[in-house]
Amino acid sequence: MTEAIERPAGDAPPEWEYASAPESTDVMRLDDRYGLFIGGEFVEPKSGRWFPTISPSTEETLAEVADADAADVARAVDAARDAAPAWQGLAPSERAKHIFRIARQVQERARELAVLETMNGGKPIKESRDVDVPLAAAHFFYYAGWADKLEYAFPGRGSPKPVGVAGQIIPWNFPLLMAAWKLAPALATGNTAVLKPAETTPLTALLLAQIMQEAELPPGVVNIVTGAGETGAALVDSPVDKIAFTGSTAVGKAIRRATAGSGTRLTLELGGKAANIVFEDAPLDQAVEGVINGIFFNQGHVCCAGSRLLVQEPVFDVLLGKLKERLQTLRVGDPLDKNTDIGAINSKAQLEKIEELVTSGVDEGAEIYQPECDLPERGFWFRPTLFTGVSQSHRIAREEIFGPVLSILTFRTPDEAIEKANNTPYGLSAGIWTEKGSRILHMAQRLRAGVVWANTFNRFDPASPFGGYKESGFGREGGLHGLEPYLTFERVSS
């Protein structure tokens, strides 16, 4: 599928191709229709509406999913409210058992979850298998461990209590993992939840609902309502105690307006335009892998993607050469193929957004590079793309593209790199590539980003907090910090 790299004639190695290595979909038994998961059962939507959910790599309909209206959302919130006293009254070690069971069931059904995630979202199977699903299980394991240790987690703050019912709205780029990020800390802290998956990727959350049933989670502790933005807005408007949102900055702002003055707790994890900064003393081959992973992992549908590459001038030519060569080896296509590096773009709408921004890059005068590669006829695809000659005012340097598109800029001094890296409305993540430890510390202190990776990128661990500055949102998920948004502290006088 990908063109072979051109090598000098003479001692040229024989040309060879990967055979296709498709993951079997036999493990998946999809129902024709999925109702809403309310009070521990799958129920028909009161709205009477259903919508198809497709595979973005084939455009085939996988199943129909309920489209929840405000009455359906209200029913889910009521179920969560009704379940709260018993769940909060349970011994913390008993709550932990349920969450550990969920974690083990996610591992047990890992293959099914990975295949379904790839079918519904378009991401390469090697990523859903090796990243999304194991990390989702790890989050449940990690937070299960906290459930009976909350008293010790925040010394001197008083007695931790759950906030109540959490409304959680998640995006389509890491559907199962984002469900785990939201649900695991909420459950560990004794809250009940209503989760709304993204409209293009509802299926793994619904499989997770089945897992919750198997784990004998008490009915109503977790409720899942499917639908689009209107369903999300209905959840925001409903009497929940906390909203946790991951998605676009525009919707994040709307949610902040809607919850202002209501007393509803809020955390927002929004977009990003991260700088990945390569110094002249960096181990360049390692940096190339980090840059490639930073922007092409999950088709670039990553809020913390390293979408702006800042290269120190002396190594610009050599790094660019290595990047172009590496780009030619990326395999774009069937996400169920175990050799695929870049799968399908999640939706037609997202593909159009990427195309529009890439066109703006060309129109504004940046130079585009895309390797030759055949793309499948059906489905939504975009070639891995590099832009050079990018100035800071270009839209492709300022706006989140959320696709496999890297904008490359240069710098001379560390101060210039900091200035350029921070010249963005966002502040979610950053990367530094250098041999010098002191430089890593110097840079990390000055970069306005919630996560700074050094000589690596896109590393995640449930014990490590994640979140942004500025228009990337506020609040932290993961780690000890991730418990706090779900707790209130009662002062006890001694």
List of residues 6+ apart from 438 with CB closer than 8 A: none
Q: How many amino acids of this chain bind ligand NAI (CB under 6 A)?
A: 26
Q: What are the backbone dihedrals phi and psi of residue 406, each rounded to the nearest 5 degrees, phi first?
A: -110, 130
Q: Residue 64's beta-bridge partner residues?
A: 33, 52
Collapsing DSSP to helix, strand or coil, 48 comes out as coil
Rg (CA), the chain: 23
Using alpha carbons only, what angle is made at residue 231 by residues 72 and 40, rounded to the nearest 5 degrees? 45
- Minimum CB separation of residue 314 from ligand NAI in Å reads 33
Q: Nearer Cβ to ligand NAI, position 30 or 254?
A: 254
Tell how strand 473-474 and strand 265-269 pair up: antiparallel
198 forms part of the interface with ligand NAI (CB under 6 A): yes
Q: Nearer Cβ to ligand NAI, position 254 or 375?
A: 254
- Minimum CB separation of residue 271 from ligand NAI in Å reads 5
Among 88, 248, 455, 456, binds ligand NAI (CB under 6 A): 248
- Minimum CB separation of residue 136 from ligand NAI in Å reads 15
- Dihedral, CA of residue 116, residue 119, residue 122 and residue 126, to nearest 10: 60
Among 194, 233, 310, 405, binds ligand NAI (CB under 6 A): 233
Say which of 112, 117, 199, 269 is annotated catalytic.
Answer: 269
Would you give the binding string for ligand NAI spanning residues 395-434, x where CB under 6 A is met? -----x-x--------------------------------
| Selection from 180, 193, 182 nearest residue 84 by Cα | 193
Secondary structure of 413-472 in the HEC alphabet? CHHHHHHHHHCCCCCCEEEEECCCHHHHHHHHHHCCCCEEEECCCCCCCCCCCECCCHHH
Distance CA 426, CA 470 (A): 6
| Selection from 60, 208, 177 nearest residue 120 by Cα | 60
Among 194, 251, 336, 449, binds ligand NAI (CB under 6 A): 251
Distance CA 242, CA 78 (A): 14
Say which of 127, 303, 471, 484 is annotated catalytic.
Answer: 303
Subset of residues 39 to 78 that bind ligand NAI, contact rule: CB under 6 A: none
122 forms part of the interface with ligand NAI (CB under 6 A): no
Single out the segment in contact with ligand NAI by CB under 6 A; choices: 134-142, 145-153, 196-204, 457-465: 196-204
Would you give the binding string for ligand NAI spanning residues 306-345, x where CB under 6 A is met? ----------------------------------------
Q: Nearer Cβ to ligand NAI, position 233 or 282?
A: 233
Single out the segment in contact with ligand NAI by CB under 6 A; choices: 143-151, 206-214, 246-254, 456-464: 246-254
Residue type, 360: S
- Minimum CB separation of residue 322 from ligand NAI in Å reads 28
304 is catalytic: no
Q: Which residue is nearest to ligand NAI (CB)?
A: 232
- Minimum CB separation of residue 244 from ligand NAI in Å reads 11
- Minimum CB separation of residue 263 from ligand NAI in Å reads 18
List of residues 6+ apart from 406 with CB closer than 8 A: 291, 295, 306, 307, 308, 309, 385, 386, 387
303 forms part of the interface with ligand NAI (CB under 6 A): yes
Single out the segment in contact with ligand NAI by CB under 6 A; choices: 34-42, 48-56, 179-187, 225-233: 225-233
Subset of residues 440 to 469 that bind ligand NAI, contact rule: CB under 6 A: none
Q: Nearer Cβ to ligand NAI, position 103 or 224?
A: 224
Distance CA 57, CA 267 (A): 33
Per-residue burial over 296-313, b if 16 or more Cβ lie within 10 Å, else e, is bbbbbbbbbbbbbbbbbe
Q: Are 110 and 134 in contact (CB under 8 A)?
A: yes
Integer CA distances (angstroms), 445 to 80, 178, 193, 276, in order: 42, 28, 36, 15
Distance CA 5, CA 388 (A): 21
270 forms part of the interface with ligand NAI (CB under 6 A): yes
- Minimum CB separation of residue 286 from ligand NAI in Å reads 26
484 is catalytic: no
Q: Nearer Cβ to ligand NAI, position 245 or 279?
A: 245
Among 136, 221, 236, 315, binds ligand NAI (CB under 6 A): 236
Tell how strand 165-169 and strand 242-246 pair up: parallel
Integer CA distances (angstroms), 290 to 97, 169, 305, 323, 438, in order: 38, 30, 11, 11, 20
* List of residues contacting ligand NAI (CB under 6 A): 169-171, 173, 196, 198-199, 228-229, 232-233, 236, 246-248, 251, 254-255, 269-271, 303, 350, 353, 400, 402
Which positions are annotated as active-site residues? 269, 303
